[in-house]
Amino acid sequence: MCTLRYFIVIEGERTKCHCFITGQPNPTIRWLYNCVSLDIVFNKRKYSLQLLSNDKVTLTIEDWSQEAAGEIIIIVENRADLTQCSAVLTVECNWDHSQSYSHAQSCSYIVELRGSRISSWSTYASSSSG
């Protein structure tokens, strides 16, 4: 029926969930995010849905934030059956987000390394928010 998977999404970017769906009679499709139905019709800036003739369904989600990590579920049903599959989405910080990206909270990081024979840590790279 369908296969989703584990996704790692970069903050501020888009992701696409692809499924191949077949069934007779034609099934209805619902998408859930953290067990809440996605309002694809009224939130077209965030979500878009594409149904192709080869039975491929693509849900595109725009502009992820770190707080938006969760589970995407697709539910497919017709008179004969109901089935679902899901994908876990993890949102990673976008280390290179531009200042023009207004939705992002500032990120800062410090990467420290310690050699196997050295007892102290050395700063390898850092970025500070300001």
Per DSSP (E only), the strands in 11-81 are 15-20, 28-33, 36-37, 47-51, 56-61, 70-77
DSSP state of 55: S
3-state secondary structure of 22: coil
Q: Is the predicted pLDDT of residue 7 greater than 80, yes or no?
A: no
Residues in CB range of 102: below 8 A, 6 or more apart: none
**CATH 2.60.40.10, domain 7-94, yes or no:** yes
User: What is the mean pLDDT of the segment spanning 103-129?
Assistant: 61
- Residue 129 clears pLDDT 60, i.e. is over it: no
pLDDT for 100 equals 46
pLDDT higher than 80, residue 42: yes
What's the confidence (pLDDT) of residue 103? 53
Answer yes or no: are the C-beta atoms of 75 and 82 closer than 8 Å: yes
| pLDDT of 126 over the 60 cut | no
What are the pLDDT digits (tens) for 11-29?
A: 888 888 888 888 888 888 8
Indicate whether 40 pLDDT > 50. yes
Q: 113: pLDDT confidence band, cut at 50, 70 and 90? A: low
| Per-domain residue ranges of the chain | 7-94
